[in-house]
């Protein structure tokens, strides 16, 4: 039986379970705060909570981390504040609720009726109108038909399809099939990466002193180093964790300096956006050690 269990901490709520929530309509939303697909769904989650929470809907955001730093309560609290989330958030750091649901996706939505029976699921982005209609149907079963007719359904935007975009690309060794640069091992145990300059698409290239851990690539030297990728898409994002102090990074697109970004908290940073899917090469230059790069996502 699916159940909300093994939760490390709660935000915006006292501890909840599906058993205690019988008699309500419950939407369980699996997410994590650096996931670009999850971030894109949050406006709809917020809107549903605003419109339907007083009519019997309880949304439980189950935050199941993808990366180790996402387990920290203060990091999730900061993200919840930034995204202005008011619904209950459960920190599922040990994946107990994730495994209870046999879940495999971020984001994932599970909708339960007043008897606690699972009646609807959706994985990934989209289908917002369908999900909302399912919520409204179950709320009518609570005797809220009159109130429901006064609330309009959120208009769903026409989805944008970009074919042939670069897939999500991880920096850590556990999910990266190989880096494009050659490496020379140094006596201190770090690696100096040498960029030969001939780049293939969808491959990460490094220059300078880096360490590749299972989850991330981390700058090691005090001299400038860079991470570069040739990609296709309308946007490129990167999950970055700064060292103890904030750092400034330079962004080059197709060899031209475009802007500077301040990296001051562990989160997903949007690096470049265009109106349509295009092919570009983006280089991110750091001058500080201890900067960790986790995963690129594209739109």
Tell me: pLDDT of 234 over 90: yes
Tell me the C-alpha distance between 61 and 28, whole Å. 6
Please check the confidence at residue 164 and state whether its pLDDT lies above 70. yes
Can you read off the two tokens belonging to residue 145? 């038909």
* The model scores a pTM over 0.85: yes
Q: In what order do the strands lie in the sheet containing 57-63?
A: 9-11, 89-91, 57-63, 25-31, 108-112, 118-123
Distance from C-alpha of 217 to C-alpha of 240, rounded to nearest angstrom:
10
The separation between CA 158 and the C-alpha centre of its own chain, rounded to angstroms, equals 22
**Average pLDDT of 174-182?**
93
Residue 38 CB coordination number (10 Å): 24
pLDDT of residue 161: 66
pLDDT of residue 163: 78
> How far is 199 from 252, CA to CA, in rounded Å?
15
CA 268/CA 138 separation, integer angstroms: 35
Query: What pLDDT, in 10s, does the model give residues 40-96?
Result: 999 999 999 999 999 999 999 999 999 999 999 999 999 999 999 999 999 999 999
Largest CA distance in the chain: 73
Domains of the chain, with CATH numbers?
A: 9-149 (3.40.30.10), 169-298 (2.60.120.260)
SS3 219: strand
Residues 218-232 pLDDT 10s: 999 889 999 999 999
d(CA 74, CA 203): 33
Query: Taking residues 136-162, what's their average pLDDT?
Result: 88
In the predicted structure, residue 160 carries a pLDDT above the cut 80: no
- What does the block give as tokens for 184? 């020379």
The string of pLDDT tens digits covering residues 91-101 is 999 999 999 99
Q: How is the chain split among helix, strand and coil, in percent rounded to 5?
A: 20, 40, 45
* pLDDT for residue 284 is more than 70: yes
pLDDT at residue 276, rounded to an integer: 93
pLDDT at res. 181 = 94
Q: In this predicted model, what pLDDT tens digit does every residue of 245-278 receive, in sequence order?
A: 999 999 999 999 999 999 999 999 999 999 999 9
**In the predicted model, what is the mean pLDDT of residues 150-159?**
84
Give 12-41 pLDDT, tens digit per residue: 999 999 999 999 999 999 999 999 999 999
Residue 202, judged by CB atoms within 10 A of its CB (0-12, 13-18, 19+), counts as middle
Q: Which residues of 233-248 are buried (b: 16+ CB within 10 A; e: fewer)?
A: bbbbbbbbbbeeeebe
Neighbour tally for 148: CB within 10 Å: 17
DSSP state letters, 24-49:
SEEEEEEE-TT-HHHHHHHHHHHHHH
Question: In which band, very low, low, confident or very high, does the pLDDT at 189 lie, cut at 50, 70 and 90?
Answer: low
What the block records as the tokens of 141 is 């079963």
Q: Element (H or E) spanning 78, and its range?
A: helix 73-83
Question: Mean pLDDT in the chain?
Answer: 95
């Amino acid at each position: 039986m699916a159940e909300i269990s093994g939760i490390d901490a709660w935000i915006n709520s006292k501890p909840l379970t599906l058993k205690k929530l019988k008699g309500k309509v419950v939407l369980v939303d699996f997410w994590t705060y650096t996931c670009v697909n999850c971030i894109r769904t949050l406006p709809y989650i917020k809107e549903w909570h605003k419109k339907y929470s007083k009519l019997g809907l309880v949304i439980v955001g189950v935050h199941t981390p993808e990366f180790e730093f996402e387990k920290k309560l203060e990091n999730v609290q900061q993200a919840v504040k930034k995204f202005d989330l008011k619904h209950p958030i459960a920190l599922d750091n040990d994946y107990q609720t994730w495994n209870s649901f046999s879940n495999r996706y971020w984001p994932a939505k599970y909708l339960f009726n007043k008897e606690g029976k699972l009646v609807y699921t959706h994985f990934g982005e989209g289908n917002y109108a369908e999900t909302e209609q399912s919520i409204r149907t179950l709320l009518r079963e609570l005797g809220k038909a009159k109130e429901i007719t006064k609330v309009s359904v959120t208009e769903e935007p026409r989805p944008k399809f970009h074919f042939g975009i670069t897939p999500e690309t991880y920096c850590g060794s556990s999910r990266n099939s190989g880096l494009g640069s050659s490496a020379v091992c140094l006596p201190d145990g770090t690696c100096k990466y040498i960029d030969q300059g001939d780049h293939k698409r969808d491959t990460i290239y490094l220059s300078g002193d880096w360490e590749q851990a299972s989850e991330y690539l981390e700058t090691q030297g005090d001299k400038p180093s860079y991470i570069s990728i040739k990609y296709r898409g309308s946007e490129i994002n990167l999950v970055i964790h700064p060292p103890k102090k904030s750092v400034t990074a330079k962004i080059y697109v197709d060899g031209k300096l475009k802007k500077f970004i301040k990296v001051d908290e562990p989160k997903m940073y949007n690096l470049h956006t265009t109106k349509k899917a295009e092919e570009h090469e983006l280089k991110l230059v750091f001058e500080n050690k201890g900067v960790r790069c986790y995963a690129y996502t594209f739109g």
